[in-house]
Structures are given as C-alpha cells and as structure tokens.
Amino acid sequence: MFSCGNNKKTSQYNEKGLPIYEFNNDDSTAVRQLAEEYVSRFSSKNFEAAADMLYTVHNDSVKPLTAEQRKGFIHAMQQLPLHGCAIKEQVLRSDKDNQVRIAMLMTENGDLEQERGTVNFFLNPVFIDGNWYLTLLDKYAEGVGLYQ
C-alpha cells in the first residue's frame, strides 16, 4: 500500500484538528528507494551499513543514531536467525507519522510471500527540511501515532 500526494501541509485540518499532508509520487519513490536500500543492507546482514541509514528526531532536527544506539541495534540484529526480508507495506500520513513494514523471514522453511515464519519490523520515514530519513518506529517518538 502506497500513499501519495504533495509533500506540504495544506491549510485544511482533519477531524482531530491535525494538518492534512499531501504527498506526491516523488515522496513515495524517495521513501521506497530508502527502504529498498535499507532492506538490501539488512538482508545481506550488513547491520552496520543498515544502522548508518537510521536517524532519530529531536525538536524537528534529525540526527544519526548515537554510538550507543547504533551498537545496541547492531547487537540485537546480529542475534536474529534472519533468512531474508522484504518490504510489505508503505504508508505516508504526515511529516513524522509514517510506516514501512518489513517482513523478516525467521525460519529456513518459511515463506516471505505468504508471510509464514516471519516477524514484522517497522521503520518510520520522516520528512524534515525537504528530505526523507529513516527512523525506527517508536510509538512514543515526537509526532508518531497522531494520524492513526
């Protein structure tokens, strides 16, 4: 599933009083390309390179993972019995409340297409200062969950 429109806030608001965002195909393509590069690195178990693509958001500024966050991410991912992964869904809702669902194949006899033997992993693409960045989905992060 892919959501599109123009990447600017409109002057319209939804029923919750939140600004309505519109995204275009360029936004969907940019997010998809980032997610595909991330999945490529992740699938090849190059968790260091995958971690290099991840950011956090603080007060409308984007920052790479700290050394401690990066180390924790890499260590956690190295523990997984990963046999492949694939992008399953992409949804753009706002500048900070988005989702890319990645199915990770955890068993040799599983099936990515049928999602047997898989677990889901979520990224949250954010749009800051005219660019898209990947963050790990954190339901407590600034701006996340408002549009769901």
Domains and CATH numbers, the chain: 8-136 (3.10.450)
Give the model's pLDDT for residue 123.
96
CB 146 within 8 A of CB 18: yes
Q: Which two tokens stand for residue 67?
A: 């050394």
Residue with tokens 């260590």: 75
Q: Whole-prediction pTM value?
A: 0.86
Give the model's pLDDT for residue 6.
42
> To 10 degrees, the CA torsion angle through 74, 145, 132, 50?
10
Give the model's pLDDT for residue 137.
83
Q: Which two tokens stand for residue 122?
A: 């979520």
More confident residue, 143 or 19: 19
